[in-house]
Chains A and B, each alone.
Chain A
Amino acid sequence: MKTINFDHISANPLLPEVKDAMIGAINRDYHNPSSQHRAGESAAEALEQARIAVAKLIKAAMPKEIVFTSGGTESINHAIKGVALANTEKGRHIVTSNIEHNAVIRSLRRLKSAGFKITSLPVDETGRVNPADVARAITDETILVSIMHSNNETGTIQPLAEIAQITREKKVILHTDAVDSVGVVPIDVTALGVDLLSFASNTFYGPTGVGGLYIRRGTRVFPLIDGGVQENNKRAGSENLIGIIGMGKAAELAERDLATRLAHVKTLKEKFLTELPDFIDEFIINTHVQHSLPNLVSISVKYIEGESVLLMLDDDGFAVSTRSACATGSLRASHVLLSLGLSHADAQGTLVISFGVDNSAADVTALLTSLKDVVTTLRQISPLYKKTAGAN
């Protein structure tokens, strides 16, 4: 049975044109882009073509501001640890939010144990940071503010441009984890006003294991990986050329097709949200109505647990993701969902459904039909459902 992917937040399929570009690159037997002979030069040219395409996608002022990395996680580590190491003379204080991805949380935890001071800001019940809180948190010692562009569990988009105004004024570097935004919604680094922006190729149907860090010219940041002078001395090590060529092609297509893709997933999301009450009752929508990714919905279904739902939907041929503690390997419910004020039981019943170019309206109807059966089955087993029903 073919699985219908409603878990685009975890993995997107490679577009055929991207595959072709990568296979073409493999067959061309590229040399090392850093080598000075002709074979090396043509590799360097391919590398720069990809850089131009990626720079265009996020509207960077110049391609040189893009550093290729092994993906979103490396970019985030580079931004945070690189700024921390390069600015210790100014201070050792960093501001972040309570709903960041683990790449941010654990990078900061590492810095904390090295003597840095971290202020983590709460979010409101819709999952947004209040820019005024950022302004209040910044001290003379603050060297970096790191707030994500969109959240990978709820899809909620942060008021980043407003935060950037504050960091500009206070002369503090601003990094944003835009891994789930770049290629999904229009991103203009100049308009946003960020200094550093992390992204990953797979979000826009490029290969996994490739990504990039936008470093605004003049931003003080050290490399995370030391060695040669690749990537304008910002990231050592021979580049993953095949992957980067794939990302370049994916960026070019994303820029060309962004409006069409956006409209497509938005229609699917609206259909899902509008029709959901016809199929199941007693659920909470965790996604911001206005400020959220067009391709993602997070819902908490009451009285049942997410992993069970995921496994049963999987059996029916649908891939979704869940933020239940069980599925993530930790015993605790998601920090993001608890930050929104959800109870542990509700957080355990959370499903993340993310749409992509390969989904159709019929797929959404099929998912809703299957979801209804799964929820009914699991509620029949659940002791919580009976208790609440009895109490009413």
Chain B
Amino acid sequence: MYNKTVMDHFRNPRNVGVIEDANGIGEVGNPLCGDMMTIYLKVVDEHIADIKFQTFGCGSAIAVSSMLTEIAVGKSIAAAKKITNKDVATALDGLPKNKLHCSNLGADALHMAIQDYEDRKAGLIRAEPKCKDEHEHTHGDTCYCPYCDIELAENSTFCDACQSNLEEEH
């Protein structure tokens, strides 16, 4: 189901853990949607000196977190802000379609951690973790039928391709 790169990052995840003196923390998802990801940043001179993650989720969620930390480490804050979920999926040589939808949250978590870093710098109170709804809207730009993987319009209740009624599971 997963390609070699994804399996490698899943089985040997890089940068797992917590940074005790992190100056930026981002958290996305919740167990309701299956995946939850926390990113810890240590920013020095506007560069990501260290990055670690903790993830509750499926194989692709763990691989995404691991790959994200590899892409982001050493980058300037300005450059890190430009990393997208798509970049992470591409670096992993692709993810299954239904996983693109549900577990590709890495860049979202990174951006939240950067926001937290900037808020702290500005003396603001730390932002609350994003709730499920927010995550699904900011992230769910494309929906796929859970049965046949065909792209669907948002909020479709019926898949024309496989005649599935999606009212309760989409």
Contact = CB atoms under 8 A, between A and B. Distances in A.
B165 A109 contact: yes
B55 A383 contact: yes
B57 interface: yes
Contacts of A286: none
B64 interface: no
A97 interface: no
B18 A386 contact: yes
A386 B56 CA distance: 11
Interface stretch (B28-36, B76-84, B111-119): B28-36
B50 to A, nearest CB: 17
B56 A384 contact: yes
Given A326-B58, A381-B54, A331 B34 contact: yes
Interface in A300-333: 303-305, 307-308, 311-312, 315, 324-327, 329-333
Contact of A345 (B13, B31, B55, B165): B31
A374 B101 CA distance: 26
B102 A383 contact: no
Contacts of B36: 383-384
Contacts of B33: 325, 331
A304 B61 CA distance: 12
Task: Determine which residue in B18, B32, B61 has the highest number of CB atoms from chain A within 10 A of its CB, and name it.
Answer: B32
Contacts of B31: 343-345, 348, 384
Nearest to A326: B58
A345 B56 contact: yes
B11 interface: yes
A392 interface: no
Interface residues of A, number: 31
A88 interface: no
Report the contact-size class of chain B (Cβ under 8 Å from the partner): 35 or more
Contacts, number: 85
A382 interface: yes
A113 interface: yes
A334 B8 CA distance: 28
A118 to B, nearest CB: 13
A380 interface: yes
Interface in A333-357: 333, 343-345, 348
Contacts of B165: 106, 109-110, 113
B56 A380 contact: no
B10 A311 contact: yes
Contacts of A384: 31, 36, 56
A327 B57 CA distance: 11
Given A330-B146, A381-B55, A386-B54, 19 more contacts: A106-B165, A305-B35, A308-B10, A308-B62, A311-B2, A311-B10, A312-B11, A325-B34, A325-B102, A326-B61, A332-B169, A333-B32, A344-B32, A348-B31, A348-B56, A380-B17, A382-B54, A383-B55, A384-B56
Interface of B: 2, 7, 10-11, 13, 16-18, 27, 31-38, 54-62, 98-99, 101-103, 146-147, 165, 169
